[in-house]
Structure 1
Amino acid sequence: MSDDYDIASPGATELFESLRAFGYDLPTALADIIDNSITARARNVWIDMHWAGPQSRIMIRDDGRGMTEDALRQAMKPGSLSPLADRPKDDLGRFGLGMKTASISQCRCLTVLSRTDRSAAVLRRWDLDYIASTGTGEWRLLKRPDLLSPEDHARLDCHKSGTILFWDRLGALVGSAPADDETAQRHFRERADAVKHHLAMVFHRFLKGRGAVTIHMNGRPIEPWDPFLEDIDFTEPLSAETLIADGERAEIKPFVLPHHSRLTADQHAAAAGPKGWNAHQGFYIYRNRRLLVAGDWLGLGMQKEEHFKLARIRIDLPNSADLLWQIDVKKSRARPPAALRLDLQRIARTTRNRASSIYRHRGKIIQRQLGDREAFLWTHLTKHGKSYYRINRDHPLVRKVLEVAEERAPIRALFSLIEQTIPAPLIVINNAETPDAFGQPFDGAPAELRAAMKAVFDAMVEDGRDRAEAARALLLMEPFSSWPEVVTAFLDEVAREAAKSSR
């Protein structure tokens, strides 16, 4: 005992329960674990989420370097490395907390089994319920080999080296739901899907190219999600810049994504990302190629708005910039230093202006190519400063309906009724609250799409239009312009039928 100080060691139970409240959800927790696998030079990571009610389990296995007994014991300590310590340039960690806090945020029993190519497998376990039951407050890190079954030990046998994390007692995800609880099981599967989408986004730069890592989710490899559509011809990269603050470099690369008319329906749906087009506009902050922030205007005084949704800006940081950019323990938040805010605002405004220009004017280009007369089913009118929408009477199908109808008055009355009762206020409110919740025309209805396509095509041909000209018009006409692959298949079929009839 000293007269100068007291030893004030935190109680293990109390501190662990506090660490569980760091704010991880399942996707961010698993991403934190995969950081360790990539840093350990793993080429494969396997995530298996097994539903069994209260006995449900998540296993994360990799074929990385693995750990010796001393290394595993150190890695299991909360705060195993100071955030101020120098790290290798490719290290994805920082605080020495990730594996522990991420794991216990989701489970009450964390077991780690690891082996290197020169040492036997070793095991350590944090069991929060066991620690609480002792009543001593001691940091009892369990290590008996029989804590895992022979089957669990055998999971590492196929690797010369590697590590497995076992998450048991998944209170946050499963609770006490029995194995036959279909609602809980469905929630479990939905969270697995959320994990897949999150990892595809966070690690997309590791999932392709030379030396790529493969992340397997319940046996299937995860495909990368590139927010910048760099493989699409119509994506417009803007000038890159290097900004420096306190000696730390930040590489900035803006992108303006293509207007939806330049994308197939599948490309457009994929590019929306896990949260939708509007939510994913803004800056994307990467640390050692690992995504931290996915679409945010970083408190620079800019709002997410529909006409800026094509603007996405990449920021690449080294791991030495963590403190400068205020990167948090979960590696899901970052804030730019004050010295860079004006430059980032300038870059953001330039990118947003270009994105807005593409968004607003691409529709007008389509109209000019086809002609205002029949480009869209709806026409926009302004009268006494107020906006109105009218069914386009020159649209080929509308014109045909009016021409063949024996009594036009009821049809004209129906058109007028539809036009006068458009729920514009409700549409505006819904678009403001959930802008990405609106479905695309004919999404999930291929038969209806083809029927409408055929009706419009037939109407143009019956009106005296050359079939080739009608085909070109169909490719440019909304909403068919959003489904070019379907239009092309339809026109190929029409061409084959025409060839048969001419024989």
Structure 2
Amino acid sequence: MARTKKTNDVLERIVLPPDPGLVKSLGAHHSLPTAVADLVDNSVDAKATRVLIVFEIENQSATGLTIVDNGRGMNEKQADNAMRLGRQRKYEDDAQGHFGIGLKAAAFSHADTLTVYTRPGSGSFHGRRLRKKDVQRDYSCEILHPEAVERDAKPWFEQLSTRSGTVVQLADARFPNFTGTKLDSWLNEMRADLRMHLGLIYHRLITRDRLRIEIVTFDHDLGESGVPEDVPSIDPFDFAASAVTGYPKTLIAKVENTEIKLSCHIVPPKASGPEYRLYGKDGAQHQGFFIYRNDRLLQVGGWNHVTTADKSLALARVAIDDFASIQPFVQMTPEKNAIRFRAELQSALMAAKTRSVSFDSYLARSAEVLVESKKRKHARQPVVEPGRGIHEEVRRAIHAEAPIRKNVDPVEIRWRPMASGRFMELDRNSRTVNLNRRYRDLFTSGTNGISDAPLLKSLVYLLTEDHFAGERWGPRDKDLIDLWNTVLDTAIQTELAYREGRSQ
């Protein structure tokens, strides 16, 4: 039946505002690291060069998170627009935000209250607060008194030695209700996850000194902060040498009238650092496309159905730097944690080539290099599971580098009171290496925690772990432990003498 052309079938036009209940699911796909990254994106867009991330502790529990930057801040109108849900302003070409929901989605993914303090240059202070329950009801926003904003924001700005910037506070946070050592372990894990994620996705900005990110803990009960930790650059392509002469190679894909450059790398088979073991996992899990926009890494591996992930392609990593060239052919989630390729882009990438190398031949060469390396590889001996007291990042590195002994309990490292003349004691029954507490400040500078002194504890673990692998200790083991204690205690006394001499 032929469809008739309708020319005047509209009776009227009405505006249907979205149901405030949609806010319940806002940011549902965010992890804490991806949520914080979305907040840091706002700082980068504001031309900030320093960002401070603060875990706030109160009543011995983690209660909130604060992000402070030294960017250009916002005026009153900009502050209002920032709090408006779905506000899509005109973004600059080098902006990281594009959806108008990043701030709200990131905040409400882990907290029920979002407070923003901001000041543009020598202008006035402005403050806004969104409570999730209010937004769900009627999208209402609280405007804060300028004097209160100045009082609360100034101490944060002073830490960054800036007159302009923005403070984003996530309060009523839905963090685990841990206390004591469990809280310490959770904080260590979260800080490690943030350093890994932020160091990876902002590695270019960090390396070029365009951005410095620090992470710190502030204890409101004590009124003091811990020692800030810098987020290091983690470049997924920073290897001393290529596995194959002539690589990386630049292949060209063509879709419609657009050329897309692919920088095709073959990772050295012996690579084992954090640049390869992204997120502490086997590097094979991060083969594929690494997609950048304005020097911010958006996608960390994955083939987007261009080819199939396979262990044989563990060494294949492809950088796409020009996001503008692929933007018409992709769809990105608001959380920036997934990019979907359209079929025509997938086909174009499969057909990418230079005069002598095709995309298929690049993948085949990558697989060949892996096979050749395995013929020369010697299996490492298993080690005892590292337990409490050893920093989370160190434990991840150990897991990635060596097989773990089965049917053997982990070994822990702790500080405990001990007589002078003994650096450590090994307790086989409790599977613990006890370190002499009188020397703790020498290695921690007074900043103590369950996973403090990571370098010392890593060395102690490597020195002692195999003594916890067998069924019993013989005279040789006990004599060796006495030897260690004599040498290490002498070394410590010598170190103390050096320090006293320098201070005189």
- Per the normalisation by structure 2, the TM-score is 0.65
CA distance in 2, matches of 1:40, 1:448: 50
1:365–1:156 CA distance, 2 compared to 1 (3 A): closer
Residue type at the aligned position of 2:155: A
Does 2:57 correspond to 1:59?
no
Distance 2:332 2:39 in 1: 17
Deviations, residues 31-64 of structure 1 (Å, cap 9, x unaligned): 1111111121111111111233666121111111
2:43–2:69 CA contact under 8 A, matched in 1: yes
* 1:188–1:450 CA distance, 2 compared to 1 (3 A): closer
Aligned pairs (5 A) from 1:11-410? 11-12=19-20, 14-21=21-28, 23-52=29-58, 56-81=63-88, 87-130=91-134, 137-145=138-146, 150-157=151-158, 158-171=161-174, 173-174=175-176, 177=177, 180=179, 182-209=181-208, 211-218=209-216, 219-230=228-239, 232-236=240-244, 237-260=247-270, 267-268=272-273, 270-274=275-279, 275-305=281-311, 307-319=312-324, 321-346=326-351, 348-364=359-375
1:9 aligns with 2:10: no
Contact 1:67–1:116 at 8 Å: present in 2 too? yes
Task: Give the SS at the match of 2:292.
Answer: strand
In structure 2, C-alpha distance between the alignment counterparts of 1:89 and 1:249, rounded to whole Å:
19
Helix, strand or coil: the match of 2:163? coil
TM-aligned CA deviation for residue 285 of structure 1? 1.3
Measure, in 1, the Cα distance between the counterparts of 2:380 and 2:169: 57
d(CA) in 1 for partners of 2:210, 2:94? 15
Distance (whole Å) between structure 2 residues aligned to residue 4 and residue 447 of structure 1: 79
Q: How many residues align?
A: 366
- Greater radius of gyration (CA): 1
Distance 1:287 1:377, change over 3 A: closer
Is 1:89–1:319's contact at 8 Å kept on the other side of the alignment? no
Task: Give 1:119 deviation, angstroms.
Answer: 1.1
Alpha-carbon displacement from aligned partner over 1:3-32 (angstroms, at most 9, x marks no partner): 8344432354x13223243x1111111111
1:363-402 deviations in whole A, cap 9, x for unaligned?
A: 5468xxxxxxxx8899xxxxxxxxxxxxxxxxxxxxxxxx
Contact 1:229 1:257 in 2 (8 A): no
Letter in 2 for 1:72: A
CA distance in 2 between counterparts of 1:149 and 1:41 reads 21
Q: Percent identity?
A: 23
In structure 2, give the amino acid aligned to 1:70. K
Shift of 1:291: 1.0
Q: Gaps spanning 5+ residues in structure 1: where?
A: 367-374, 379-435, 452-503
Unaligned 5+ residue runs, structure 2?
1-10, 217-227, 352-357, 382-397, 405-457, 468-504
Q: Alpha carbons of 1:320 and 1:110: their partners in 2 closer, same or farther (altered >3 Å)? A: farther
The Cα shift of 1:156 comes to 2.3
Aligned with 2:80: secondary structure? helix
Tell me the amino acid that sits aligned with residue 295 of structure 1.
Answer: G
Which deviates further from its counterpart, 345-354 or 219-228?
A: 345-354
The answer to whether the 8 A contact 1:49-1:192 is kept is no
How far has the Cα of 1:144 moved from its partner? 3.2
Q: 1:104 to 1:246 in 2, by over 3 A?
A: farther
Aligned counterparts of 1:357 and 1:47: Cα–Cα separation in 2: 44
Q: Which amino acid aligns with 1:241?
A: L
In 2, Cα distance between the equivalents of 1:29 and 1:376?
A: 39
Q: 1:246/1:28 Cα in 2 relative to 1: closer, same or farther (>3 Å)?
A: farther
Q: Distance in 2 between matches of 1:249 and 1:215?
A: 35
- SS of alignment partner, residue 139 of structure 1: coil
With over 3 angstroms needed to count, the CA separation of the structure-2 counterparts of 1:138 and 1:60, relative to structure 1, is: closer
Q: SS at the partner of 1:359?
A: helix
Matched, 1:440 2:402: yes
Structure 1 residue 277: Cα displacement: 1.3
Tell whether the 8 Å contact from 2:199 to 2:234 is kept in structure 1 after alignment: yes
**How big is the shift at 1:129?**
3.5
Task: Assess, with a 3 A threshold, how the Cα gap between structure 1 residues 286 and 438 changes in structure 2: closer, same or farther.
Answer: closer
For residues 163 and 64 of structure 2, what CA distance do their matches in structure 1 show? 24
Aligned to 1:51, what secondary structure does the other structure show?
strand
Question: Aligned-pair distance for 1:140?
Answer: 3.1
Helix, strand or coil: the match of 1:108?
strand
What's the RMSD between the two structures over aligned residues? 3.4
Shift in CA distance, 187/149, structure 1 to aligned 2, threshold 3 Å: farther
The question of whether the paired residues in 1 share the 8 Å contact of 2:243 and 2:369 is answered with no
Whether contact under 8 Å (1:283, 1:296) holds in the other structure is yes
CA contact (8 A) 1:92 1:319 kept: no
Take 2:273 and 2:62, find their aligned partners in 1: how far apart are those partners? 40
Residue identity in the other structure for 1:258: P
The letter of the residue matching 2:302 is: D
Partner of 1:390: none
1:89, CA displacement in angstroms? 2.0
